[in-house]
A and B are shown apart, each in its own frame.
Chain A
Amino acid sequence: MKKFTHVFLVVFFLFVIATAGLASDTILIKNGTIIPVKGGSSGVSDLLIENGKISQIRKNISVPTGIKVIDATGKFVYPGLVAVMTAIGVTGYPRAGNDTDEVGTSTPHMDPYDAINPEDDCIEVTRVGGVTTVHTVSGSRSVINGKSVILHLEGTLAEDMIINRYVAQIFNMGATEQNKYPSTRPGVVSYLRNMLNQAKDYAKKQSEKDQKSEQDKKSENDKEDFSKRDLAMEALVPVVTGKVPVVFITNSEVTIRNALSLIEEYKLNGIIRAGSGILKYADRIAEANIPVIWAGTESVPQRWEPHDLNFHTAAVLAEKGVLFTFDSGGYGPGSRNVRNINRPAAISVAHGLQEKDALEALTINPARILGIANEVGSLEKGKVANVAIWTGSPIQERSRVESVIIKGKLIPMSSFQTRLFDKFRKIVHERMKKK
C-alpha cells in the first residue's frame, strides 16, 4: 500500500510538471545585454521566464537540465515592441476580405474582437520583427469609429490573443462626409458634441435606473430596460464618464485644437493622435497631461516649413515632457509594415531625440497610454514575458531580431515571407543548375 502511494505521488508530480510545461515554456536567456527600458539598469545579465511571466533578472541564474536555454551572448534583450493604431487581425489577409471601417458616420459599438482573424498573415510578419503587442482599431475613416483592443501576437483563438477589450474609442476630427452632414470640420465638432450630450443623458438615465432598481429590486420589471438598450450609446457611456480614453485622430492645427476643446469641455480621457501641427500645442498638451500618438515623423512638411520640422518634432515633445508614442501607420494602406515602427523612432533620434526616449516611445509609453503598463512594455519581474532578442538596437534599421518570446512562449521565426524565401530560393537555384 505504501509502495503504491509512492508510485502515485511520483506519477502525480510528473503529471503536474508535464501540464505546467504545456501551459508555457520555462526559458532562460543567458548572458544577453538586458535593456529593461524601465525598472532597472541595462547590462549583461540572465533573464528567466516561468509560467508566461518574467520571474527573475539577475546574473548567473542556474536552472535544472532540460530547461530551454537561449545563449544571448553578444546580443541585446529588449521588451517586445508595442505598436498602436494597427489593423492587425482585421486586415483581411489572407482571403478574409477587409474588415476595417464599418459604414456610418457614428459606429462607436464596432468591436475588433468580433472580427479578429488569428491567421492574419500580418501577425507572423509583425512579430518576427520584434513587435509582440499591438493595439488594433476598428477603423479610422468615420467621425466615431468604434472600439479598439490590445492583442498579443500569439494564439490560435481571438480570446487567447486579446488581453484587453475596449482600451480606447476612436474619433476622427477630420472625417468630413461628402454631401451630407457633417461635411466640414466645425460640423464634425458639433456632431460629436451632440453625440456626447446624448451619451451623457443616456449615462444619467442608466445610473438613475440602476439606483432605482437597487431600491425596488423586487417590484421593477427588467423587460422594459432591455427593450430600450442602445448599443451605440452603451459604447459611448464609458467615454463620457472618463473610464475609456478616446484617441482623437487629427491631421492639422485646426483639428488638434478642436480635439483639445472637446477634451476640456467634456472632461474626456483624451489621447491626441497628430499627423502635423502638434508643436504649437505642445505646451498646452504637456500641461494637461494629454498623451500623444505622433504620426507625422515621415510626413512631408509644407512648402514654408523647414525640411526637418517633422523629423525633429518627437525631440521637442520629449523635451517638454509629453508622454508620446509613434503611430504605426498601420490602419491605412501601409498597414502591412507595423514592424517598421522603429523607422520614425530612428529618424527622430537622428534629429535630436535621445535613444532612451525613443525606446520608451516604442515600449513602455504606448503601454502607459493604453493602460497596460503593469503587464507589458518593459522587462520587469512579474510582467508578461514578451521579449525580443536583437543583434543591435531596434533604433538601427539594420538590426535583426533573432528570437521572440510572447506570453512566455518561444515563437517560430517564420512567416509566409520566410516560407516564400525558402521555396523560391530552391526553385531559382535549381533552374540555375540546369542552365
Chain B
Amino acid sequence: MGKKFLLILAAMILMAPHIWAQDIALKGGTILTITNGTIENGTIVIQKGKIASMGKDITIPDGIRIIDVTGKFIMPGIIDSHTHIAITDGNEATDPVTPQILMWEALDPGSDSIRKTLAGGVTTVKTMHGSANVIGGVNVSIKLKYDRPIDDVIIPGVRQQLKMALGENPKRVYGERGRSPSTRMGNAYVARKAFVEAQEYKAKWAKYEKDKAAGKKDLTPPKKDLKMETLKMTLEKKFSIDCHTYRAEEIVWIINFCKEFGLDLLQISHCIDGYKVADVMAEAGVFYGGWVDSWGFKEEAYDGCPYGMQIMYEAGTKMVINSDSPVVGRYLFREAAKVLKYTDIPENEALKMITLNAAESMELDDRIGSLEKGKDGDIAVFDKHPLDSTTKCLMTIIEGEIFFDYAKQSVTAKGGSR
C-alpha cells in the first residue's frame, strides 16, 4: 500500500512539468493566424501546451475540453517586448554601468500587474529595469503565468537581452549629481569604455584558457569581474542588445557602435525618431520598438510622429509596438488599431507589431507570435475583431491553460459594480 502510494507520488512528481498544461480545443471562431490568413469558423486544438491542429474541419480528439467560441475572434497571444511589469525594482541608479544586474532576480510572478495584463490578451513580455544607466542590466523574457514558480515563468532557452539607454535619462540621473555622463558624448564614452574593458577582459581570459589547455603550469586565473562577465558574454553574443533611445543621431550611433564591437542589436526601444533614419534601421535589421502616437512628453520625444510608421513600412524597417507601461500593456490591440489611423499599413501587418514581430525581436518567433501547428498554445480570444475599438478580451490562454477568463473575472459578468 505504502509502496503503491509512493509510486503514484513519484509518477506525479515526474509529471509535474505537465501538470498545468491542459489539452483544450477552441471551436467555431474566426482564427487570425497572422502567418496564413484568416480561418472562418475554425477550430484549434492544443495538446501538451502546443498547437496540435488547426483549420476548418478538424477532428477534436476524444476527452478534450471544448470551448465554443462561435462568433469570437482568436489571435495569437499578444507579446510586449518592452515593459516594466512584474518586477520589484526599477533602476540600480548608483553607477552608469551595471551589467551585473539580472532582472530575473527582481521578478515577481505574483505581481498583480500580470493579472491585469493577462486581461488584455497578453501572454509574453520582456520585462526590464528603467533607463537610468547607459548599460543597465539583463532583461528577462517571460510568459505571464500568474503566480507560478519563477522557473515556469521565465522562457527557457531564449537568449536574454542586455539593456542599454542613451539620451536624456542617464544624462539627467548622473549629470544632476555632478557626475559623468552629463552629455550624449559622455553616454557614448561610458559605453565605449565599458566594452573596450570587456574586450581586454575577454582577451585575458582567452589567453588564460589557451595557456591552460596548452598545459602551462603555475597559472593564476584572471580575477572574476561580474560586470565584465556580462559584457564578455554580450561580446560572445550570449546576450543580445535592446537599446533605449529617442533621437535619430543616437539611433545611428548605437547601430554603428554595435557593428564596431560585434554586438547583436535586436531592438531600439522608445524609438521616437526611428522614421527619420528608417532606411538605416532597415539595413541594420534592427527593430523599431515604440509607441504609435506618443510625443512631446519630454524634450527628446518632441518629434514623435504617428505618420512616421508609414515611412518605416516603406523602407522595410521591422516594427513592434511596446507598451513601456502597465497601463497601455493592457490594450496593445488598441494601439495596433491606431496604426491604421495614421498609415496605410495593412491590418495583418499592424497585428504583427504586437505578435510575430515582437516574437522575432525577442528571438521567439519559432515558438510564439502566430497560430501555426507546433507553436505554443498561446491564444487571446476577443468578442470582436481585435482592431475594432469596441472589442474586449474574453480569454487568455498560455500553453493550453486558461489564465484569464472574462466570464469569471470581470465586474460586468457579475452584473454590476462592486
Counting CB contacts under 8 A, is B338 at the interface? yes
Counting CB contacts under 8 A, is B418 at the interface? yes
What does the 1/0 interface line of B115-159 toward A look like (CB < 8 Å)? Answer: 110010000000000000000000000000000000000000000
Give B303's nearest chain A residue, CB to CB: A420
**CB atoms of B307 and A421 under 8 A apart:** yes
Chain A, 411-435, CB within 8 A of any chain B CB:
417-418, 420-421, 424-425, 427-429, 431-432, 435
Chain A, 330-369, CB within 8 A of any chain B CB:
333-337, 339-340, 342-343, 346-347, 349-352, 355
Give A417's nearest chain B residue, CB to CB: B305
Counting CB contacts under 8 A, is B296 at the interface? yes
Counting CB contacts under 8 A, is B409 at the interface? yes
Nearest Cβ on chain A to B22's Cβ, whole angstroms:
22
What does the 1/0 interface line of B277-294 toward A look like (CB < 8 Å)? Answer: 111000100000000011
Which A residues are in CB contact (< 8 Å) with B388? 396
**CB atoms of A300 and B326 under 8 A apart:** yes
Which A residues are in CB contact (< 8 Å) with B278? 424, 428
**CB atoms of B297 and A333 under 8 A apart:** yes
**CB atoms of B116 and A425 under 8 A apart:** no
Which B residues are in CB contact (< 8 Å) with A180? none
**CB atoms of A350 and B276 under 8 A apart:** no
Counting CB contacts under 8 A, is B55 at the interface? no
Indicate whether A343 sits within 8 Å of B410 (C-beta atoms), given known contacts A316-B417, A429-B314: no
Q: Select one of A303, A349, A420 contacting B112, CB under 8 A.
A: A303
Indicate the member of A300, A307, A334, A424 with the most B CB atoms within 10 Å. Answer: A307
Indicate whether A351 sits within 8 Å of B392 (C-beta atoms), given known contacts A300-B116, A399-B341, A428-B275: yes
Give the CA-CA distance A313 to B112 in the complex, in Å. 20
Nearest Cβ on chain B to A246's Cβ, whole angstroms:
27
Q: Select one of A316, A400, A435 contacting B341, CB under 8 A.
A: A400
What does the 1/0 interface line of B400-418 toward A look like (CB < 8 Å)? Answer: 0000000001111010111
Give the CA-CA distance A93 to B297 in the complex, in Å. 11
Which B residues are in CB contact (< 8 Å) with A431? 279
Give the CA-CA distance A432 to B387 in the complex, in Å. 32
Counting CB contacts under 8 A, is A383 at the interface? no
Chain B, 304-319, CB within 8 A of any chain A CB:
304-308, 310-311, 314-315
**CB atoms of B112 and A428 under 8 A apart:** no
Counting CB contacts under 8 A, is B337 at the interface? yes
**CB atoms of B409 and A306 under 8 A apart:** yes
Indicate whether A300 sits within 8 Å of B314 (C-beta atoms), given known contacts A93-B296, A306-B418, A395-B390: no
Q: Select one of A299, A312, A333 contacting B417, CB under 8 A.
A: A312
Q: Report the contact-size class of chain B (Cβ under 8 Å from the partner).
A: 35 or more
Counting CB contacts under 8 A, is B302 at the interface? yes
Chain B, 333-372, CB within 8 A of any chain A CB:
334, 337-338, 340-341
Nearest Cβ on chain B to A313's Cβ, whole angstroms:
8
Counting CB contacts under 8 A, is B73 at the interface? no
Give the CA-CA distance A350 to B327 in the complex, in Å. 17
Give the CA-CA distance A355 to B388 in the complex, in Å. 13
Indicate whether A432 sits within 8 Å of B296 (C-beta atoms), given known contacts A309-B411, A417-B305: no
Judged by DSSP, the binding face of B is loop
Which B residues are in CB contact (< 8 Å) with A432? 279, 315
**CB atoms of A334 and B411 under 8 A apart:** no
Indicate whether A298 sits within 8 Å of B412 (C-beta atoms), given known contacts A349-B390, A397-B334, A417-B306: no
**CB atoms of B389 and A417 under 8 A apart:** no
Counting CB contacts under 8 A, is A398 at the interface? yes
**CB atoms of B410 and A308 under 8 A apart:** yes
Nearest Cβ on chain B to A8's Cβ, whole angstroms:
52
Indicate whether A427 sits within 8 Å of B417 (C-beta atoms), given known contacts A306-B410, A397-B337: no
**CB atoms of B295 and A336 under 8 A apart:** yes
Q: Select one of B116, B276, B389 contacting A398, CB under 8 A.
A: B389
Q: Select one of A305, A334, A425 contacting B418, CB under 8 A.
A: A305
**CB atoms of B294 and A307 under 8 A apart:** no
**CB atoms of B293 and A340 under 8 A apart:** yes
**CB atoms of A308 and B119 under 8 A apart:** yes
Counting CB contacts under 8 A, is B174 at the interface? no
Give the CA-CA distance A91 to B392 in the complex, in Å. 34
Indicate whether A308 sits within 8 Å of B411 (C-beta atoms), given known contacts A343-B334, A428-B278: yes
Indicate whether A420 sits within 8 Å of B297 (C-beta atoms), given known contacts A343-B334, A397-B337, A432-B279: no
Indicate whether A398 sits within 8 Å of B418 (C-beta atoms), given known contacts A306-B411, A421-B308: no
Give A313's nearest chain B residue, CB to CB: B417
Indicate whether A428 sits within 8 Å of B387 (C-beta atoms), given known contacts A336-B296, A351-B412: no
Indicate whether A279 sits within 8 Å of B392 (C-beta atoms), given known contacts A300-B116, A343-B334, A421-B310: no
Counting CB contacts under 8 A, is B331 at the interface? yes
**CB atoms of A397 and B294 under 8 A apart:** no
Indicate whether A312 sits within 8 Å of B390 (C-beta atoms), given known contacts A336-B296, A336-B297, A432-B315: no
Give the CA-CA distance A103 to B391 in the complex, in Å. 43
Counting CB contacts under 8 A, is A43 at the interface? no
**CB atoms of A309 and B417 under 8 A apart:** yes
Indicate whether A424 sits within 8 Å of B411 (C-beta atoms), given known contacts A340-B293, A398-B340, A398-B341: no
Indicate whether A298 sits within 8 Å of B327 (C-beta atoms), given known contacts A303-B112, A309-B417, A421-B310: yes
**CB atoms of B119 and A398 under 8 A apart:** no
Which A residues are in CB contact (< 8 Å) with B113? 300
Which B residues are in CB contact (< 8 Å) with A155? none
Which B residues are in CB contact (< 8 Å) with A333? 297
Q: Select one of B294, B305, B409, B412 contacting A337, CB under 8 A.
A: B294
**CB atoms of B311 and A425 under 8 A apart:** yes
Which A residues are in CB contact (< 8 Å) with B315? 428, 432
**CB atoms of B276 and A301 under 8 A apart:** no
13 contacts between A and B (CB under 8 A): A279-B417, A298-B327, A303-B112, A305-B418, A334-B297, A337-B295, A343-B334, A346-B390, A351-B412, A400-B341, A417-B307, A421-B308, A425-B310
Q: Which 7 residue pairs spanning A and B have beta carbons closest together?
A: A336-B296, A346-B389, A421-B307, A306-B411, A398-B340, A307-B119, A397-B337
Beyond A312-B411, A312-B417, A351-B412, list 9 extra A-B contacts (CB 8 Å).
A305-B418, A307-B115, A337-B293, A397-B341, A398-B387, A417-B307, A418-B307, A421-B308, A424-B308
